[in-house]
Chain A
Amino acid sequence: MQTVFTGRVTVLGNNIDTDQIYPGRYLELVDPVEIGHHCLEGVDGDLAKNFRQGDFLVAGSNFGCGSSREHAPIAILNMGALLVLADSFARIFYRNGINLGLPLVICKGLWKQVKDGDWITVDLEQGTVRLEATGTVMTCEKIQGPALTILQAGGIKPLFRQRMSQSSQ
């Protein structure tokens, strides 16, 4: 599992709900690439189009609140974001994101310290976020427990298949 990531950030606010991440009118779509095209359309209709592959989303508290729609993390992954860093995550979104192998990092206050396009380096093992412009190093929560086990396997699907094949042997 990759543990060190460097990329640019797109900064969002508090309480970014799943309707803003993925508006209800697109819920009938099933193709992940197409789902990715509508990511964060409720915040900015051009955000997905202009998003640079491999960049990160940074937000305030309660990111992903609202609906349980798994389209939200599917959209974020397929837009090309590698990580989401926020003050806190809503519970169902957190499970959904981790299940799909999207690292979700709690880094309190980061969203106030960065602006769109800033470069940061995130070290998941060390629990640090380095702001490249200033060299400032912030502390983030290390991912632990079941969430770490799932991410290390690349998501719940590969983990589940491993477990199924072990139990049938």
Chain B
Amino acid sequence: MHALEKILAKASGKSQVQAGDIVTAKVDFAEINDLYLQTLYSFYEMGGKRVWDSSRAAFVFDHYAPAPTIQSAAIHKEMRQFARENELTYHFDVQSGVCHQVMPERGVVYPGMILVATDSHTTTHGAFGAFGTGVGATDMATILITGELWFRVPEIIEIRLEGEPPTGVYPKDVILYVLGQLKADGAVYKAIDFTGSYVRQLGVAGRMTICNMAVEMGAKTAYMQPNKAVLDYVSQRAVRPFTVEYTDPDFVYQEQYIFDLTSLTPQVSAPHSVDNVHPLSAIEPVKVDQCLIGTCTGGRVEDFAVAAQILRGKKIAPGVRMVVIPASQQVQRTCLERGYLQELMDAGAVMAAPGCGPCLGVHEGILAPGEVCISSSNRNFPGRMGSAQASIYLASPATVAASALKGYLADPRPLLID
């Protein structure tokens, strides 16, 4: 069996499962974000009285943090009330940050667990050797009542990433490249196991960036075998004992893809589809209006470190807005301690509260018709960040910082040579 199958088997009380089986699995942790008040409506409509286990469910207020409208403030208010009534152990209010960053930081994510959240980017937690998957409000309500959810055991494909990319090429470039090859429907209903020498040596932040975007290929979940960096991270934080699962040597993947990264160059996903990926060098140097570094894909300490390296002692181009949003308060604190955010502000950036920011088009940097944004986030669908007549390019934080400096889509590599 694959490690993911072992996780599902254990959680559903079976000795063995295989692709196509329908199982009812116990959920180790359930997270509801602040877009999903419907979860509470569905909970009561289905006869829910109390959350099945107060230590295994939490709200994270990240999409509307802090509340930009009366309606979203009212959503927060109802959710806080529900959290209090159910005496939830964990509660991540508007100061916390994006769920996919704050949950691992708080230690509720660890290898071998099943994590279900009302957010499609829950694939992120494959970075920790967990089974993480996103659901909608009503599926989440059934979990809050019973602690379980039915799953179809997914087919598992292997994406093997070999070699070390050159300087100036980052995990975001790697996953954009893979997406461009497999396309937006390349892994629908499937699980992706990222393997290979690149993954074995990759740090926690890079692993999270790659697993995060697995859902942009339609994947149900992602997986990376935990390495030393992950085990060091979780052993300092995990709130429960955990078991790392391993894939049996005789496991056969449904499909295998092998990518050599040794000559990869910076990649860009052009409007208006995530899989419209090109080498940066093949794209016209389009003028940019806004540059965003942040979100669950590209708002970690490593991302601000490289942006600060590029913009240190310089000014962003006239007429360009640069928005920086740490993925969590902890990321924000670390970046402040190291001076990264001050350097970015000195260069002309504006900092917003930790959270999802403008990524889903509700606040903190909405785009006007005709505007162009380059972003370290994960989606460039029409209208994603505001006007459907705006254009979004997705790239690594280094490429975003280089573009802010130049005022047009720019290659970070020449700026990284001291």
Bound state CA distance, A156 and B152, in angstroms?
16
How far apart are B47's CB and chain A's nearest CB, in angstroms? 5
Bound state CA distance, A62 and B381, in angstroms?
14
Q: Which of B22, B47, B119, B383 contacts A146 (CB 8 A)?
A: B22
- Quick check: is B172 within 8 A (CB to CB) of the other chain? no
CB of B361 within 8 A of CB of A157, answer: no
Partner-contacting stretch, out of B135-143, B198-206, B336-344: B135-143
Mask, A68-80, CB within 8 Å of B = 1, is 1111011000000
Partner-contacting stretch, out of B34-42, B81-89, B237-245: B34-42
Bound state CA distance, A92 and B217, in angstroms?
13
CB of B388 within 8 A of CB of A156, answer: no
Bound state CA distance, A99 and B140, in angstroms?
11
Assess A95 versus B361: contact at CB under 8 Å? Given A15-B273, A24-B384: no
- Quick check: is A54 within 8 A (CB to CB) of the other chain? no
How far apart are A33's CB and chain B's nearest CB, in angstroms? 14
CB of B38 within 8 A of CB of A67, answer: no
B250-274 interface (Cβ within 8 A of A)? 273
CB of B220 within 8 A of CB of A91, answer: yes
CB of A19 within 8 A of CB of B383, answer: yes
Interface residue total, chain A, C-beta cutoff 8 A: 39
CB of B362 within 8 A of CB of A15, answer: no
CB of A19 within 8 A of CB of B379, answer: yes
How far apart are A48's CB and chain B's nearest CB, in angstroms? 15
CB of A19 within 8 A of CB of B384, answer: yes
CB of A68 within 8 A of CB of B119, answer: yes
> What residues of chain A lie closer than 8 Å to B273, measured between beta carbons?
15
A142-156 interface (Cβ within 8 A of B)? 145-146, 156
Q: Which of B38, B47, B218, B388 contacts A30 (CB 8 A)?
A: B38
CB of B188 within 8 A of CB of A88, answer: yes
- Quick check: is A10 within 8 A (CB to CB) of the other chain? no
Bound state CA distance, A117 and B63, in angstroms?
38
- Quick check: is B360 within 8 A (CB to CB) of the other chain? yes
CB of B63 within 8 A of CB of A27, answer: yes
B379-393 interface (Cβ within 8 A of A)? 379, 381-384, 386, 388
Bound state CA distance, A88 and B136, in angstroms?
18
How far apart are A93's CB and chain B's nearest CB, in angstroms? 8
- Quick check: is B350 within 8 A (CB to CB) of the other chain? no
- Quick check: is B16 within 8 A (CB to CB) of the other chain? no
> What residues of chain B lie closer than 8 Å to A146, measured between beta carbons?
22, 150, 152
> What residues of chain A lie closer than 8 Å to B38, measured between beta carbons?
30, 70-71, 74
Would you call the interface of chain B mostly helix, strand, loop, or mixed?
Answer: loop
Which residue of chain A has its CB nearest to the CB of B119?
A68
- Quick check: is A124 within 8 A (CB to CB) of the other chain? no
CB of A99 within 8 A of CB of B139, answer: yes
How far apart are B119's CB and chain A's nearest CB, in angstroms? 6
A57-71 interface (Cβ within 8 A of B)? 61-62, 65-71
Mask, B214-233, CB within 8 Å of A = 1, is 00001010000000000000
Which residue of chain B has its CB nearest to the CB of A73?
B136
CB of A69 within 8 A of CB of B35, answer: yes
Mask, A131-169, CB within 8 Å of B = 1, is 000000000000001100000000011001100100000
- Quick check: is A42 within 8 A (CB to CB) of the other chain? yes
> What residues of chain A lie closer than 8 Å to B64, measured between beta carbons?
28
> What residues of chain A lie closer than 8 Å to B382, measured between beta carbons?
19-20, 42
Assess A30 versus B36: contact at CB under 8 Å? Given A23-B383, A68-B118, A90-B218: no
Partner-contacting stretch, out of B52-60, B67-75, B155-163: B67-75
Q: Which of A61, A67, A161 contacts B46 (CB 8 A)?
A: A161
Mask, A5-29, CB within 8 Å of B = 1, is 0000000000101011001110111
CB of B218 within 8 A of CB of A91, answer: yes
CB of A42 within 8 A of CB of B388, answer: yes
How far apart are B48's CB and chain A's nearest CB, in angstroms? 9
Known: A19-B379, A70-B38. 7 other contacts (CB 8 A): A19-B383, A20-B381, A24-B383, A42-B383, A89-B188, A91-B218, A145-B152
Report the 5 A-B pairs with minimum CB-CB distance, sorted nearest first.
A96-B136, A70-B136, A24-B361, A62-B185, A24-B360
**27 A-B residue pairs with CB within 8 Å:** A15-B185, A17-B381, A19-B360, A19-B361, A19-B381, A23-B361, A24-B360, A25-B386, A28-B71, A28-B362, A30-B37, A42-B383, A61-B185, A62-B185, A67-B119, A67-B360, A68-B135, A69-B35, A70-B138, A92-B135, A96-B135, A99-B136, A100-B138, A145-B22, A146-B150, A146-B152, A157-B45
